[in-house]
Structure 1
Amino acid sequence: MKLSTVVVRMGLGAALVLGAQACASRQPVAESTASSERAPEDLSAYYPLAVGNQWTYRINGRADKSVTVRIVKEEGGYFQDNQGGQLTVDSFGVRDLKRYLLRGPLTEGTQWTNVVSVSSTERYRILQANVPCDTAARAFGACVRVEARNRVDAETTLINDLTFAQGVGLVRMELFVERSGGERMPQTSLELTSYTVRNAGAEARPGDSR
Protein backbone atom coordinates (compact mmCIF):
# COMPACT_ATOMS: atom_id res chain seq x y z
CA MET A 1 0.00 0.00 0.00
CA LYS A 2 1.33 3.43 -0.88
CA LEU A 3 2.13 5.71 2.05
CA SER A 4 0.11 8.55 0.52
CA THR A 5 -2.98 6.33 0.53
CA VAL A 6 -2.45 5.44 4.18
CA VAL A 7 -1.93 9.04 5.24
CA VAL A 8 -5.29 10.19 3.93
CA ARG A 9 -7.10 7.12 5.23
CA MET A 10 -6.89 7.73 8.97
CA GLY A 11 -8.37 10.17 11.42
CA LEU A 12 -10.35 13.34 11.75
CA GLY A 13 -7.89 15.61 9.96
CA ALA A 14 -7.97 13.50 6.84
CA ALA A 15 -11.66 12.66 7.01
CA LEU A 16 -13.11 16.08 7.71
CA VAL A 17 -10.57 18.68 6.73
CA LEU A 18 -8.82 17.12 3.78
CA GLY A 19 -12.00 15.41 2.58
CA ALA A 20 -10.28 12.13 1.83
CA GLN A 21 -13.01 10.00 3.37
CA ALA A 22 -16.11 11.54 1.80
CA CYS A 23 -18.95 9.02 1.84
CA ALA A 24 -21.86 8.89 -0.57
CA SER A 25 -24.15 7.24 2.01
CA ARG A 26 -24.25 6.42 5.70
CA GLN A 27 -22.32 3.40 6.88
CA PRO A 28 -22.56 1.66 10.25
CA VAL A 29 -20.02 2.79 12.82
CA ALA A 30 -17.27 0.23 13.21
CA GLU A 31 -16.86 -1.97 16.27
CA SER A 32 -15.37 0.03 19.14
CA THR A 33 -14.11 -0.94 22.57
CA ALA A 34 -13.19 1.39 25.40
CA SER A 35 -11.77 1.31 28.91
CA SER A 36 -15.05 2.72 30.29
CA GLU A 37 -18.59 1.49 29.77
CA ARG A 38 -20.09 4.92 29.27
CA ALA A 39 -18.76 8.46 29.28
CA PRO A 40 -20.10 10.45 32.24
CA GLU A 41 -19.38 13.77 30.53
CA ASP A 42 -21.39 15.45 27.81
CA LEU A 43 -18.69 15.49 25.15
CA SER A 44 -20.70 17.67 22.78
CA ALA A 45 -18.90 20.64 24.32
CA TYR A 46 -15.70 19.41 22.69
CA TYR A 47 -17.22 19.43 19.20
CA PRO A 48 -20.15 21.85 18.88
CA LEU A 49 -22.28 20.64 15.97
CA ALA A 50 -24.79 22.94 14.31
CA VAL A 51 -25.48 23.96 10.72
CA GLY A 52 -23.41 27.04 9.92
CA ASN A 53 -20.57 26.30 12.29
CA GLN A 54 -17.21 26.64 10.60
CA TRP A 55 -13.51 26.29 11.33
CA THR A 56 -10.59 27.60 9.27
CA TYR A 57 -7.22 25.85 9.55
CA ARG A 58 -3.73 26.77 8.46
CA ILE A 59 -2.09 23.83 6.71
CA ASN A 60 1.50 22.87 7.54
CA GLY A 61 2.15 26.22 9.21
CA ARG A 62 1.73 28.18 5.97
CA ALA A 63 -0.18 31.43 6.20
CA ASP A 64 -1.03 31.23 2.48
CA LYS A 65 -2.48 27.73 2.66
CA SER A 66 -5.71 27.09 4.53
CA VAL A 67 -8.97 25.18 4.43
CA THR A 68 -12.40 26.00 5.87
CA VAL A 69 -14.66 23.27 7.17
CA ARG A 70 -18.30 24.36 7.31
CA ILE A 71 -21.30 22.31 8.46
CA VAL A 72 -23.86 22.51 5.69
CA LYS A 73 -26.66 20.17 6.78
CA GLU A 74 -27.90 17.66 9.34
CA GLU A 75 -29.33 14.36 8.18
CA GLY A 76 -30.11 11.18 10.08
CA GLY A 77 -28.42 12.49 13.22
CA TYR A 78 -25.13 13.27 11.42
CA PHE A 79 -23.85 16.77 10.69
CA GLN A 80 -22.30 16.92 7.23
CA ASP A 81 -19.63 19.40 6.20
CA ASN A 82 -18.45 20.86 2.92
CA GLN A 83 -15.39 18.57 2.89
CA GLY A 84 -17.43 15.34 2.91
CA GLY A 85 -17.10 14.66 6.65
CA GLN A 86 -19.98 13.50 8.85
CA LEU A 87 -20.00 13.82 12.64
CA THR A 88 -22.32 13.17 15.54
CA VAL A 89 -22.15 13.07 19.34
CA ASP A 90 -23.81 10.26 21.25
CA SER A 91 -23.76 9.09 24.87
CA PHE A 92 -20.30 7.56 24.35
CA GLY A 93 -18.54 10.43 22.60
CA VAL A 94 -17.74 12.20 19.35
CA ARG A 95 -17.67 10.01 16.25
CA ASP A 96 -17.69 10.00 12.49
CA LEU A 97 -19.05 7.19 10.33
CA LYS A 98 -16.19 4.82 11.11
CA ARG A 99 -14.70 5.68 14.48
CA TYR A 100 -15.01 7.37 17.86
CA LEU A 101 -12.65 10.33 17.85
CA LEU A 102 -13.16 11.25 21.50
CA ARG A 103 -14.53 9.14 24.35
CA GLY A 104 -14.79 9.59 28.08
CA PRO A 105 -13.90 9.72 30.78
CA LEU A 106 -11.85 12.77 29.85
CA THR A 107 -8.82 11.82 31.91
CA GLU A 108 -5.24 11.10 30.96
CA GLY A 109 -4.81 7.48 29.99
CA THR A 110 -8.34 6.72 28.80
CA GLN A 111 -8.09 4.32 25.85
CA TRP A 112 -10.39 2.89 23.20
CA THR A 113 -10.11 0.94 19.97
CA ASN A 114 -11.90 1.35 16.64
CA VAL A 115 -11.98 -1.57 14.23
CA VAL A 116 -12.64 0.33 11.00
CA SER A 117 -12.12 -2.58 8.60
CA VAL A 118 -10.96 -6.20 8.59
CA SER A 119 -7.40 -5.00 8.05
CA SER A 120 -7.38 -1.71 9.99
CA THR A 121 -7.55 -1.16 13.76
CA GLU A 122 -7.01 2.25 15.33
CA ARG A 123 -5.95 2.58 18.98
CA TYR A 124 -6.74 5.84 20.76
CA ARG A 125 -5.43 7.23 24.03
CA ILE A 126 -5.97 10.53 25.84
CA LEU A 127 -2.52 12.04 26.38
CA GLN A 128 -3.65 15.18 28.21
CA ALA A 129 -6.98 16.41 29.57
CA ASN A 130 -8.24 19.76 30.86
CA VAL A 131 -5.04 21.54 29.92
CA PRO A 132 -4.52 24.91 28.19
CA CYS A 133 -3.54 25.00 24.53
CA ASP A 134 -2.54 27.79 22.19
CA THR A 135 -3.39 28.22 18.49
CA ALA A 136 -3.21 30.91 15.86
CA ALA A 137 -6.89 31.64 16.56
CA ARG A 138 -6.46 32.17 20.33
CA ALA A 139 -5.50 30.44 23.54
CA PHE A 140 -7.97 28.00 25.08
CA GLY A 141 -8.22 27.05 28.73
CA ALA A 142 -9.65 23.52 28.60
CA CYS A 143 -8.27 21.19 25.94
CA VAL A 144 -7.95 17.44 25.40
CA ARG A 145 -5.13 15.89 23.42
CA VAL A 146 -5.68 12.49 21.84
CA GLU A 147 -3.24 10.17 20.07
CA ALA A 148 -4.53 7.71 17.48
CA ARG A 149 -2.24 4.93 16.26
CA ASN A 150 -2.80 2.69 13.24
CA ARG A 151 -0.20 0.04 12.45
CA VAL A 152 0.12 -0.12 8.68
CA ASP A 153 2.69 -2.92 8.46
CA ALA A 154 5.62 -4.36 10.41
CA GLU A 155 7.69 -1.25 9.72
CA THR A 156 5.17 1.61 9.73
CA THR A 157 2.64 3.10 12.17
CA LEU A 158 0.46 6.08 11.34
CA ILE A 159 -0.01 8.48 14.27
CA ASN A 160 -2.65 11.20 14.41
CA ASP A 161 -2.29 13.72 17.26
CA LEU A 162 -5.59 15.58 17.77
CA THR A 163 -6.33 18.48 20.12
CA PHE A 164 -9.91 19.47 20.99
CA ALA A 165 -10.86 22.67 22.85
CA GLN A 166 -13.97 22.90 24.98
CA GLY A 167 -16.65 24.96 23.26
CA VAL A 168 -14.77 25.00 19.95
CA GLY A 169 -13.90 21.56 18.57
CA LEU A 170 -10.77 20.43 16.76
CA VAL A 171 -8.08 23.10 17.09
CA ARG A 172 -4.95 21.20 16.06
CA MET A 173 -4.05 18.06 14.12
CA GLU A 174 -0.59 16.63 13.50
CA LEU A 175 -0.08 13.52 11.39
CA PHE A 176 3.13 11.47 11.60
CA VAL A 177 4.54 8.27 10.19
CA GLU A 178 6.55 6.29 12.74
CA ARG A 179 9.09 3.74 11.57
CA SER A 180 10.03 0.60 13.50
CA GLY A 181 13.07 2.30 15.00
CA GLY A 182 10.90 4.97 16.63
CA GLU A 183 11.67 7.76 14.17
CA ARG A 184 8.68 10.03 13.52
CA MET A 185 8.30 11.82 10.20
CA PRO A 186 5.80 14.71 10.00
CA GLN A 187 3.23 14.38 7.21
CA THR A 188 0.49 16.98 7.65
CA SER A 189 -0.50 19.54 10.27
CA LEU A 190 -3.56 21.71 10.75
CA GLU A 191 -3.89 24.65 13.16
CA LEU A 192 -7.05 26.64 13.85
CA THR A 193 -6.87 30.26 12.72
CA SER A 194 -10.53 31.33 13.05
CA TYR A 195 -13.92 29.84 13.80
CA THR A 196 -17.61 30.58 14.25
CA VAL A 197 -19.54 28.09 16.35
CA ARG A 198 -22.81 27.81 18.17
CA ASN A 199 -24.47 25.01 20.04
CA ALA A 200 -27.96 23.94 19.00
CA GLY A 201 -30.32 26.76 19.99
CA ALA A 202 -27.48 29.12 20.94
CA GLU A 203 -26.17 32.22 19.27
CA ALA A 204 -23.15 32.02 17.01
CA ARG A 205 -19.85 32.82 18.72
CA PRO A 206 -17.02 33.98 16.45
CA GLY A 207 -13.42 33.30 17.30
CA ASP A 208 -10.68 35.85 16.87
CA SER A 209 -7.91 35.47 14.30
CA ARG A 210 -4.48 36.81 15.02
Structure 2
Amino acid sequence: MKLSSVVVGWGLGAALVVVGAGACASRQRGGEQESRPSESLAAYYPLAVGNRWTYRVNGRVDKTVDVEVLKEEGGYFHDNQGGQLAVDGFGVRDRKRYLLRGPLAEGSQWTNVVSVSSTERYRILQSGVPCEAPAGSFEHCVRVEARNRVDATTTLVNALTFAEGVGLVRVEVSAEKSNGERMPQTWLELASFKLQDQGR
Protein backbone atom coordinates (compact mmCIF):
# COMPACT_ATOMS: atom_id res chain seq x y z
CA MET A 1 0.00 0.00 0.00
CA LYS A 2 1.41 3.37 -0.97
CA LEU A 3 1.85 6.10 1.59
CA SER A 4 -0.21 8.41 -0.60
CA SER A 5 -3.21 6.16 -0.15
CA VAL A 6 -2.95 6.62 3.59
CA VAL A 7 -2.06 10.25 4.15
CA VAL A 8 -2.44 12.18 0.92
CA GLY A 9 -5.05 9.73 -0.32
CA TRP A 10 -7.16 10.60 2.69
CA GLY A 11 -7.47 13.75 0.67
CA LEU A 12 -5.28 15.49 3.10
CA GLY A 13 -8.86 15.90 3.96
CA ALA A 14 -9.18 13.16 6.32
CA ALA A 15 -5.63 13.40 7.49
CA LEU A 16 -4.82 17.03 7.09
CA VAL A 17 -7.67 19.50 6.92
CA VAL A 18 -7.67 21.23 10.23
CA VAL A 19 -10.57 23.51 10.27
CA GLY A 20 -11.15 25.17 13.48
CA ALA A 21 -12.60 27.56 15.85
CA GLY A 22 -14.00 26.78 19.24
CA ALA A 23 -12.74 27.61 22.67
CA CYS A 24 -12.04 25.49 25.68
CA ALA A 25 -14.76 24.92 28.15
CA SER A 26 -14.27 26.20 31.65
CA ARG A 27 -15.79 25.72 35.07
CA GLN A 28 -15.83 27.76 38.24
CA ARG A 29 -13.77 26.55 41.16
CA GLY A 30 -13.20 28.63 44.25
CA GLY A 31 -13.91 31.85 42.36
CA GLU A 32 -11.34 31.06 39.66
CA GLN A 33 -11.78 29.84 36.11
CA GLU A 34 -10.36 26.37 35.62
CA SER A 35 -9.70 25.32 32.05
CA ARG A 36 -10.79 21.82 31.13
CA PRO A 37 -11.01 19.83 27.90
CA SER A 38 -14.20 20.05 25.90
CA GLU A 39 -16.24 16.91 25.35
CA SER A 40 -17.39 18.31 22.00
CA LEU A 41 -15.83 16.51 19.06
CA ALA A 42 -16.34 19.62 16.91
CA ALA A 43 -14.04 21.52 19.28
CA TYR A 44 -11.16 19.26 18.25
CA TYR A 45 -11.98 19.38 14.55
CA PRO A 46 -14.32 22.32 13.97
CA LEU A 47 -15.21 23.13 10.38
CA ALA A 48 -15.39 26.62 8.81
CA VAL A 49 -14.88 27.98 5.31
CA GLY A 50 -11.77 30.15 4.94
CA ASN A 51 -9.62 28.56 7.63
CA ARG A 52 -6.08 27.80 6.55
CA TRP A 53 -3.22 25.61 7.87
CA THR A 54 0.37 25.11 6.81
CA TYR A 55 2.16 21.86 7.63
CA ARG A 56 5.85 21.05 7.60
CA VAL A 57 6.64 17.69 6.03
CA ASN A 58 9.25 15.65 7.93
CA GLY A 59 10.23 18.76 9.90
CA ARG A 60 11.58 20.61 6.86
CA VAL A 61 10.98 24.35 6.67
CA ASP A 62 11.31 24.23 2.87
CA LYS A 63 8.74 21.46 2.37
CA THR A 64 5.22 22.46 3.33
CA VAL A 65 1.61 21.65 2.52
CA ASP A 66 -1.07 24.36 2.66
CA VAL A 67 -4.65 23.33 3.41
CA GLU A 68 -7.58 25.71 3.08
CA VAL A 69 -11.29 25.04 3.45
CA LEU A 70 -12.95 26.36 0.29
CA LYS A 71 -16.65 25.56 0.54
CA GLU A 72 -19.44 23.65 2.26
CA GLU A 73 -21.54 21.43 0.03
CA GLY A 74 -23.79 18.45 0.67
CA GLY A 75 -23.06 18.50 4.39
CA TYR A 76 -19.28 18.27 3.87
CA PHE A 77 -16.56 20.92 4.01
CA HIS A 78 -14.26 20.72 0.96
CA ASP A 79 -10.58 21.69 1.06
CA ASN A 80 -8.06 22.64 -1.63
CA GLN A 81 -6.43 19.19 -1.36
CA GLY A 82 -9.56 17.25 -2.31
CA GLY A 83 -10.61 16.39 1.22
CA GLN A 84 -14.21 16.38 2.43
CA LEU A 85 -15.04 16.43 6.15
CA ALA A 86 -18.13 16.63 8.32
CA VAL A 87 -19.04 16.41 12.00
CA ASP A 88 -22.11 14.37 12.90
CA GLY A 89 -23.59 12.92 16.07
CA PHE A 90 -20.91 10.22 16.23
CA GLY A 91 -17.75 12.13 15.37
CA VAL A 92 -15.52 13.72 12.75
CA ARG A 93 -15.61 11.90 9.43
CA ASP A 94 -14.79 11.97 5.76
CA ARG A 95 -16.89 10.01 3.27
CA LYS A 96 -15.29 6.66 4.24
CA ARG A 97 -14.14 6.84 7.84
CA TYR A 98 -14.43 8.39 11.28
CA LEU A 99 -11.17 10.08 12.26
CA LEU A 100 -12.36 10.91 15.76
CA ARG A 101 -15.25 9.43 17.71
CA GLY A 102 -16.53 9.81 21.22
CA PRO A 103 -16.25 9.31 24.01
CA LEU A 104 -12.98 11.26 24.15
CA ALA A 105 -11.42 8.91 26.67
CA GLU A 106 -8.20 6.92 26.69
CA GLY A 107 -8.83 3.44 25.33
CA SER A 108 -11.94 4.28 23.27
CA GLN A 109 -11.92 2.29 20.02
CA TRP A 110 -13.75 2.12 16.69
CA THR A 111 -13.39 0.42 13.32
CA ASN A 112 -13.79 1.73 9.78
CA VAL A 113 -14.33 -0.69 6.89
CA VAL A 114 -13.15 1.46 3.99
CA SER A 115 -13.22 -1.26 1.30
CA VAL A 116 -13.70 -5.00 0.91
CA SER A 117 -10.01 -5.58 1.62
CA SER A 118 -9.24 -2.67 3.99
CA THR A 119 -10.25 -2.27 7.63
CA GLU A 120 -8.87 0.53 9.80
CA ARG A 121 -8.80 0.19 13.59
CA TYR A 122 -8.67 3.33 15.73
CA ARG A 123 -7.90 3.82 19.40
CA ILE A 124 -7.56 6.93 21.57
CA LEU A 125 -4.14 6.77 23.20
CA GLN A 126 -4.42 9.95 25.28
CA SER A 127 -7.05 12.62 25.89
CA GLY A 128 -6.90 16.01 27.56
CA VAL A 129 -3.11 16.18 27.42
CA PRO A 130 -0.84 19.04 26.26
CA CYS A 131 0.89 18.88 22.88
CA GLU A 132 3.29 21.01 20.86
CA ALA A 133 4.02 21.84 17.24
CA PRO A 134 5.96 24.65 15.54
CA ALA A 135 2.63 26.55 15.47
CA GLY A 136 2.52 26.62 19.26
CA SER A 137 1.71 24.80 22.49
CA PHE A 138 -1.82 23.56 23.09
CA GLU A 139 -3.31 22.63 26.44
CA HIS A 140 -6.00 20.07 25.54
CA CYS A 141 -5.12 17.49 22.88
CA VAL A 142 -6.24 14.02 21.84
CA ARG A 143 -3.84 11.42 20.42
CA VAL A 144 -5.34 8.72 18.19
CA GLU A 145 -3.68 5.67 16.66
CA ALA A 146 -5.05 4.24 13.40
CA ARG A 147 -3.89 0.81 12.24
CA ASN A 148 -4.42 -0.80 8.83
CA ARG A 149 -2.92 -4.19 7.98
CA VAL A 150 -1.14 -4.04 4.62
CA ASP A 151 -0.11 -7.71 4.33
CA ALA A 152 0.83 -10.70 6.48
CA THR A 153 3.91 -8.97 7.87
CA THR A 154 3.21 -5.23 7.79
CA THR A 155 0.71 -2.89 9.43
CA LEU A 156 0.55 0.79 8.59
CA VAL A 157 0.23 2.91 11.75
CA ASN A 158 -0.96 6.54 11.72
CA ALA A 159 -0.62 8.57 14.91
CA LEU A 160 -2.91 11.62 14.76
CA THR A 161 -2.84 14.47 17.30
CA PHE A 162 -5.79 16.87 17.52
CA ALA A 163 -5.70 20.12 19.52
CA GLU A 164 -8.84 21.68 20.92
CA GLY A 165 -9.82 24.84 19.05
CA VAL A 166 -7.25 24.16 16.31
CA GLY A 167 -7.68 20.72 14.72
CA LEU A 168 -5.03 18.33 13.50
CA VAL A 169 -1.54 19.39 14.62
CA ARG A 170 0.54 16.29 13.89
CA VAL A 171 0.45 13.14 11.73
CA GLU A 172 3.10 10.43 12.09
CA VAL A 173 3.03 7.45 9.72
CA SER A 174 5.09 4.31 10.29
CA ALA A 175 5.20 0.74 9.03
CA GLU A 176 5.09 -1.88 11.79
CA LYS A 177 6.51 -5.34 11.15
CA SER A 178 5.10 -8.49 12.73
CA ASN A 179 7.99 -8.50 15.25
CA GLY A 180 6.83 -5.08 16.54
CA GLU A 181 9.60 -3.07 14.87
CA ARG A 182 8.40 0.28 13.53
CA MET A 183 9.94 2.07 10.58
CA PRO A 184 9.01 5.78 10.26
CA GLN A 185 7.58 6.64 6.85
CA THR A 186 6.69 10.31 7.05
CA TRP A 187 5.34 12.91 9.43
CA LEU A 188 3.69 16.30 9.29
CA GLU A 189 3.41 19.02 11.91
CA LEU A 190 1.43 22.23 12.05
CA ALA A 191 3.68 25.21 11.27
CA SER A 192 1.06 27.97 11.21
CA PHE A 193 -2.68 28.49 10.97
CA LYS A 194 -5.22 31.22 10.42
CA LEU A 195 -8.74 30.71 11.70
CA GLN A 196 -11.36 33.14 10.47
CA ASP A 197 -13.40 33.03 13.67
CA GLN A 198 -10.39 33.59 15.93
CA GLY A 199 -8.50 36.07 13.78
CA ARG A 200 -5.23 34.17 14.12
Fold-level match, TM-score > 0.5?
yes
Distance 2:90 2:77 in 1: 17
**Which deviations, in whole Å up to 9, do the C-alpha atoms of 1:122-169 show, x marking residues without a partner?**
000000000000110000000000000001111010000000000000
Distance 1:117 1:19 in 2: 16
Of 6, 10, 21, the match for 1:15:
10
Match of 1:205? 199
Distance 2:108 2:79 in 1: 28
Of 57, 60, 67, the match for 1:59:
57
Match of 1:105? 103
Q: In the alignment, is the contact (CA less than 8 A) between 1:159 and 1:175 conserved in 2? A: yes
Residues 147 and 63 (structure 1 numbering): CA distance in 2 closer, same or farther, change over 3 Å? same
| One-letter amino acid of the counterpart of residue 98, structure 1 | K
Residues 46 and 107 (structure 1 numbering): CA distance in 2 closer, same or farther, change over 3 Å? same
Gaps of 5+ in 2: 16-37
Name whichever structure is richer in strand by fraction. 2
Distance 1:158 1:114 in 2: 14
Distance 1:91 1:134 in 2: 28
**Which deviations, in whole Å up to 9, do the C-alpha atoms of 1:59-78 show, x marking residues without a partner?**
00101110110000110010
Q: CA RMSD in A?
A: 1.9
Find the residue that maps to 2:43 and give its secondary structure: helix
State the TM-score, normalizing by the size of structure 1. 0.80
Q: In the alignment, is the contact (CA less than 8 A) between 2:14 and 2:94 conserved in 1? A: no
How many correspondences in the alignment?
Answer: 178
Of 161, 171, 175, the match for 2:173:
175
Q: In the alignment, is the contact (CA less than 8 A) between 2:160 and 2:171 conserved in 1? A: yes
**Which deviations, in whole Å up to 9, do the C-alpha atoms of 1:74-109 show, x marking residues without a partner?**
100100000000000001000011100000100100
Task: Give yes or no for the alignment of 1:50 onto 2:36.
Answer: no
| One-letter amino acid of the counterpart of residue 10, structure 2 | A
Q: In the alignment, is the contact (CA less than 8 A) between 1:17 and 1:68 conserved in 2? A: no
Q: In the alignment, is the contact (CA less than 8 A) between 2:13 and 2:79 conserved in 1? A: no
Residue identity (%):
66
| One-letter amino acid of the counterpart of residue 84, structure 1 | G
| One-letter amino acid of the counterpart of residue 191, structure 2 | T
